[in-house]
Amino acid sequence: MNVELLIGRKVFDESGRALGRIEEVLAIEQGSDLVVSEFHVGAGGLAERLSAYRLGHVRKPKRIPWQELDLSDPEKPVWRKR
Amino acid sequence: MTQPSHATHLVADVLDKQIVDAKKVKLGKVDGLVIVLREGKPPRVAFVESGTAVVARRLGRWCERLVLALNRRLGVRAEPRYRIPWSKVTEVDIEVTVDVDEHPLLAWEEWLREHIVGRIPFAK
């Protein structure tokens, strides 16, 4: 799966409501591997990616842990809250 | 959830960044990042991808097919996508430094030098 193809994809919750688009993917080192830890969704995620922190009215990104984002259909990621 | 201090923003910090080798020779850009989904484990960043076909795919399947057709017609590279294992990435900063011995990423530059630049009078 390609990260650049995930960016901009709309994320839906289990009821079908759109939460926002994937704007950033956070990764951390785990041993010798780099693994995905979170997906940042929504306008806050875009502001974070553009370093537009001075836009004070922009919300913080919605952070979805890797285990809560169902990517079985990359075209339609689903947030399955645990 | 607080971010670990050593977290890497794959889009802001890695994607579209310049790839260089240990001697700071430019090898291309990070056009794509491949992650591998694993059952019960976090997705692992597996490869850095570079190449015109990778960029074209971001614009759409039709664009990717066009680039692949052009690559076959011109015969510049055997493979229009070049993958570097993430384990070869030694540093992520303003540039992404990789530890590779071969440079097929420079195939287009060599083709241009041989077929275009080299034929310009007095170029040599």
Tell me: the pLDDT tens digits for B51-92?
Answer: 888 888 888 888 888 888 887 887 666 667 889 999 999 999
* Interface membership of B87 toward A (CB under 8 Å): yes
B82 strand-pairing partners: B50
CB B31 to CB A24 under 8 A? no
Query: Looking at residue B51, what is its pLDDT?
Result: 86
CA of A17 vs chain B CAs: smallest distance (Å):
23
Q: What is the largest CA-CA distance in chain B?
A: 63
User: Which of these, B74, B80, B8, lies nearest to B44 by C-alpha position?
Assistant: B8
Helix (H, G, I), strand (E, B) or coil at B59: helix
Q: Tens digits of per-residue pLDDT, B94-118?
A: 999 998 876 666 666 677 777 888 8
Kindly state the tokens that stand for A42.
């929504």
**Model-level pTM greater than 0.95?**
no
Residues A26 and A43: beta-carbon distance below 8 Å: no
Per-residue pLDDT at B1: 45
User: A12 and chain B: CB distance < 8 Å anywhere?
Assistant: no
Is 90 exceeded by the pLDDT of residue B119? no
